Amino acid sequence: MPSYSQINEKLIEVTLNNEEVFAKRGAMISYQGTVSFARSFLGGSGIQDLAMRTVTNEGYALMVAKGTGKVYYGYDGLFVNVIQVNNETMYVESETLLAFDSRLRTGTMFLGNQGGVQGILRGAVSGQGLFTTTLQGTGEIAILSDGNAIGLKVTPEQPVFVDPDAYIGHKGNLTSNIVTDLNWKTFVGQTSGESYQVKFMGQGTVYIQASER
Amino acid sequence: MSSFRINTDRLLEVGLQNEKVMAIAGAMVAYTGTMKFEKSLLGGEGFFGALKRKVTNEGMSLMQTTGTGTVYFAHNAAEIAVIPINNEKLFIESSSLLAYDAGLKTNTAFAGLRGATSGQGLFTTTVEGNGNIAVISRGNLITLEVSPSNPLFVDPDAFIGYKGNIAQEFVFDVNWRTMVGQASGESYQFKFTGQGVVYIQPAER
Amino acid sequence: MTIYNPGNLPKNDNLNRFAFVVDVAEEIFIRKGKMIAYYGQLQFDSLGSSVLDILIKQSFNAPLYINHFVVAKGRGQLILGDNGNDIACYDLDNANMTIKASHLLGFSKEVICQESTMPGFLTLIGNGKVIASSSGPVHFLGLPCRVDVQSVLGWADCPSPSYRYDYAHVTGVLSMVGAMTGLTLSGEEKQIDFSGQGTVLIQSSELELNGSDALAHIVSQLPNLSKSELSSLSGAVSQHMRG
């Protein structure tokens, strides 16, 4: 199976041994060895998923690198983070996903499922697509972030509240809710800038980046 | 007093025990525990303080966070540095301020003619008292000492703030003009003399 | 946080990832606009003043870029910074190194600087120090390798690279048109191919904030174009401006 190695905060190296790795189009920085590139589409299983993506503008062009050698990935000077997925489901925005391989099963998830109407609201308001990408199984993935990404542990006793613009993904057994904080005084006519947050509850990890979208 | 901690250079972690912290609006990225966010009246400067800011154009849109737990702040992936203030006064560009202990007092001060090109106004912000302040910069903040035998020259775009008994001069240097780069329109530099420290960022604004 | 003063500043070394301190004792070429602060008595002269003609003729042999550099002299500590990019100092030991022009921040006066045959790059030859910035830390790769055009920071001691096009996966009319007009080329379609011996310096691809080196190169080529070529160029420019 391809192995991921973090070269520095903005570069990863994927080693292929007659294997393949999927990555964001345009993210290939360099490669050594015999590697060929082909286009691929994210969509998990079948036409239906693809159709859903087209309708909701979550279309995402992927490249699959196949062969034997080393491929280096990075994107626009953004930070790269390698995350271990252990027999769980990782949820991540498609544009945040940098690289993954066939150890994980991909799919799309309608944000609405996780909180009904509030899910849709969250999607529309935060500018993220209504669908998010899911990766399930055991393996590694590489994700992008603007500034360092940190993982915050969520436990049943300690829920985590997150600014939707800083949210990049989560994994584990989590449910989410929109929380609005109506407690501000406005003297000069603007909001506090934190009009709503997303509350994560359960057992898992939420990933945030050091900037607002 | 609340605790300020930097996590991986670009995230500020503030631990609160039923305390308050002030931060620029929109900088909160996550928190645990129970927190309340309120639009603030500019750090206790009051109504006239707000008016003064409108007049002098030293705008600061702040938010007061109160509660118990940990709050994470960040801003556009900029590097963050924590500067402790011990009964001192820090002069700083309001655009470089990320968060500070609610017990500190802020104000505006006249900073002299700095030219329209630098994008900095005529006024700057002062923070005084006892507590921590978190400052944002592009690239890690650098602290340089100024002493009577060692004056310091600084590119205006790199200048963030200073503390101590320092005089800030504008040097319009024929020599300096040759250093004008493509991006900057600066035809002058800052010269600092006296005794204190100057904070700079290794980047242009 | 360390408080620095002329006594404890590093000498000709990094202050942190993003800042480099030059202990100025003799003349050194520095890129304009990258000076952050300095202590001491320093003087900055633009190239092209007659007093420096001797120095320039020997070291700075790149007329396209002469306006981007100055000579710093005097005694003092000069702090360089480049927009939050990582900075590193490279020691040339009878070697040659080619660097993306926009990332070259400075070099010692014994080093000879010439334009590379690859547009937008400068070649530094000889012995001395070269100070260059990069988007994120630099990574060194051995040859042979292929690199995305935007990610090449430079190369050392190796033969001039060439472009390689890989259209094997391009299917469908739209992508073909896009690929042929060069509007949608990404690293997977067009790469820089390095063969032979040497080292390549790569970085995570960056947003081109300031392409004035590319512009300088294009402008210098204008006298070589015929009237019909100039009007083709004008068409291509308007198309890019619309997009």
Q: How many CB atoms lie within 10 A of CB C58?
A: 11
What does the pLDDT look like over C7-22, one tens digit per residue?
A: 899 999 999 889 999 9
Interface test with A, best of C17, C100, C147, C188 (most A CBs within 10 A): C188
What does the pLDDT look like over C56-66, one tens digit per residue?
A: 667 778 877 87
Domains for chain B: give ranges and CATH numbers: 3-200 (3.60.160.10)
Q: Which of B83, B147, B155 sits opposite C35 (nearest CB)?
A: B155
Q: What's this model's pTM, rounded to 2 decimal places?
A: 0.80
User: How far C60 CA lies from chain A's nearest CA (Å)?
Assistant: 31
Residues C169 and C123 in one domain: no
What does the pLDDT look like over A45-57, one tens digit per residue?
A: 443 344 444 444 4
Q: How confident is the model at residue B69 (pLDDT cuts 50, 70, 90)?
A: very high
Please report the ipTM that was assigned to this predicted complex.
0.79
Say yes or no: C141 contacts chain B, CB-CB below 8 A: no
Q: Which of C1, C3, C33 sits opposite B184 (nearest CB)?
A: C33
Per mean pLDDT, which range of A70-74, A125-129, B48-52, B82-86 is the poorest?
A: A125-129
Q: Which of A148, A183, A184 sits opposite B8 (nearest CB)?
A: A148
Residues C110 and C188 in one domain: no
Q: Average pLDDT in the C51-59 region?
A: 65
Q: What is the pLDDT of residue B138?
A: 87
Q: Is residue C210 in some structural domain?
A: no
CA C48, CA B183: separation in Å to the nearest integer? Answer: 21
Going by C-alpha positions, the residue among C65, C66, C56, C64 that lies closest to residue C27 is C56
Q: Tell me the residue length of chain C.
A: 243
Residues C168 and C115 in one domain: no
Q: Is residue C215 in some structural domain?
A: no
Q: What is the pLDDT of residue C133?
A: 93
Q: What is the pLDDT of residue B118?
A: 47
Q: What is the pLDDT of residue A120?
A: 46
Chain B positions in Cβ-Cβ contact with residue A212 (cut-off 8 Å): 26-27, 29, 74-76
C160, pLDDT greater than 80:
yes
CA A159, CA A109: separation in Å to the nearest integer? Answer: 22
Say yes or no: A38 contacts chain C, CB-CB below 8 A: yes
CA distances from B20 to B2, B70, C111 (A): 8, 11, 56
Say yes or no: C202 contacts chain A, CB-CB below 8 A: yes
What's the domain count of chain C? Answer: 2
Q: How many CB atoms lie within 10 A of CB B30?
A: 25
Say yes or no: C141 contacts chain A, CB-CB below 8 A: yes
Q: How many CB atoms lie within 10 A of CB A108?
A: 24
Q: Which of C32, C39, C84 sits opposite B179 (nearest CB)?
A: C32
Q: What is the pLDDT of residue A115?
A: 44
Residues C177 and C131 in one domain: no
Q: Is residue C25 in some structural domain?
A: yes
Q: What is the pLDDT of residue C59?
A: 74
Q: What is the pLDDT of residue A105?
A: 84
Interface test with A, best of C102, C164, C204, C205 (most A CBs within 10 A): C204
Q: Which of C135, C139, C168 sits opposite A77 (nearest CB)?
A: C135
Q: Which residues of A181-209 are buried (b: 16+ CB within 10 A; e: fewer)?
A: beebeeeeeeebbbebbbbbbeebbbbbb
Q: Are A144 and C204 in contact (CB under 8 A)?
A: no
Q: Average pLDDT in the B47-62 region?
A: 59
Say yes or no: A30 contacts chain C, CB-CB below 8 A: yes
Q: What is the pLDDT of residue B111?
A: 66
Tokens read off for B121 = 């106004």
Q: Is residue C5 in some structural domain?
A: no
Residues C28 and C132 in one domain: yes
Say yes or no: A60 contacts chain C, CB-CB below 8 A: no
Domains of chain A, by residue range, sit at 3-209
User: Is the model more confident about B193 or about A45?
Assistant: B193
Which residues numbered 54-83 in B keep a CB inside 8 Å of some CB on A? 61, 63, 72, 74-78
**In this complex, do A74 and C205 lie within 8 Å of one another by their Cβ atoms?**
yes
Say yes or no: A22 contacts chain C, CB-CB below 8 A: no
C touches which chains (3+ CB pairs under 8 A)?
A: A, B
Say yes or no: B52 contacts chain A, CB-CB below 8 A: no
Residues C21 and C124 in one domain: yes
Full domain range(s) for residue C89: 13-137
Q: Which of A32, A39, A76 sits opposite C205 (nearest CB)?
A: A76
Residues C133 and C161 in one domain: no
Say yes or no: A7 contacts chain C, CB-CB below 8 A: yes
Per mean pLDDT, which range of B149-158, B196-205, C63-72, C108-117 is the poorest?
A: C63-72
C168, pLDDT greater than 70:
no
Residues C58 and C100 in one domain: yes
Q: Which of C19, C33, C38 sits opposite B181 (nearest CB)?
A: C33
Whether the upstream peptide bond of residue C144 has omega within 30° of 0, thus cis, is yes
CB pairs under 8 A between A and B: 105
Q: Is residue C62 in some structural domain?
A: yes
Q: What is the pLDDT of residue C212?
A: 54
**In this complex, do B181 and C34 lie within 8 Å of one another by their Cβ atoms?**
yes
Say yes or no: C83 contacts chain B, CB-CB below 8 A: yes
What does the pLDDT look like over C75-127, one tens digit per residue?
A: 999 999 988 889 999 999 999 999 999 899 999 988 999 988 888 899 999 99
Tokens read off for C240 = 């890019």
B74, pLDDT greater than 80:
yes
**In this complex, do C4 and B181 lie within 8 Å of one another by their Cβ atoms?**
no
Q: How many CB atoms lie within 10 A of CB A134?
A: 18
Say yes or no: B9 contacts chain A, CB-CB below 8 A: yes
Q: What would the CATH number be for the domain defined by A3-209? A: 3.60.160.10
Low-confidence ranges of chain A (pLDDT < 70): 41-61, 109-131, 180-196, 213
User: Is the model more confident about A208 or about B51?
Assistant: A208
Say yes or no: C137 contacts chain A, CB-CB below 8 A: yes
**In this complex, do C205 and A30 lie within 8 Å of one another by their Cβ atoms?**
no
What torsion, rounded to 10 degrees, do the Cα atoms B153, B156, B157, B160 define? 80
Q: What is the pLDDT of residue A185?
A: 34
**In this complex, do B183 and C6 lie within 8 Å of one another by their Cβ atoms?**
no
Residues C36 and C123 in one domain: yes
Residues C75 and C115 in one domain: yes
Q: Which of C120, C137, C154 is the last residue of a domain?
A: C137
Say yes or no: A39 contacts chain B, CB-CB below 8 A: no
Q: Is residue C8 in some structural domain?
A: no
Cβ partners under 8 Å of residue A129, min gap 6: A56, A57, A58, A93, A94, A123
Q: Is residue C234 in some structural domain?
A: no
B80, pLDDT greater than 90:
yes
Say yes or no: A27 contacts chain C, CB-CB below 8 A: yes
Chain B positions in Cβ-Cβ contact with residue C37 (cut-off 8 Å): 142, 144, 152-155, 158, 198, 200
Interface test with C, best of B182, B187, B198 (most C CBs within 10 A): B182
Chain A positions in Cβ-Cβ contact with residue B33 (cut-off 8 Å): 158
Q: Residue C113: which CATH number?
A: 3.60.160.10
Residues C51 and C105 in one domain: yes
**In this complex, do A9 and C136 lie within 8 Å of one another by their Cβ atoms?**
yes
Q: How many CB atoms lie within 10 A of CB C186?
A: 20
Cβ partners under 8 Å of residue C211, min gap 6: C102
Q: Is residue C18 in some structural domain?
A: yes
The DSSP bridge pattern shows strands C199-202 and C121-134 to be: unpaired
Residues C154 and C57 in one domain: no
B174, pLDDT greater than 60:
no
Q: Average pLDDT in the C165-184 region?
A: 54
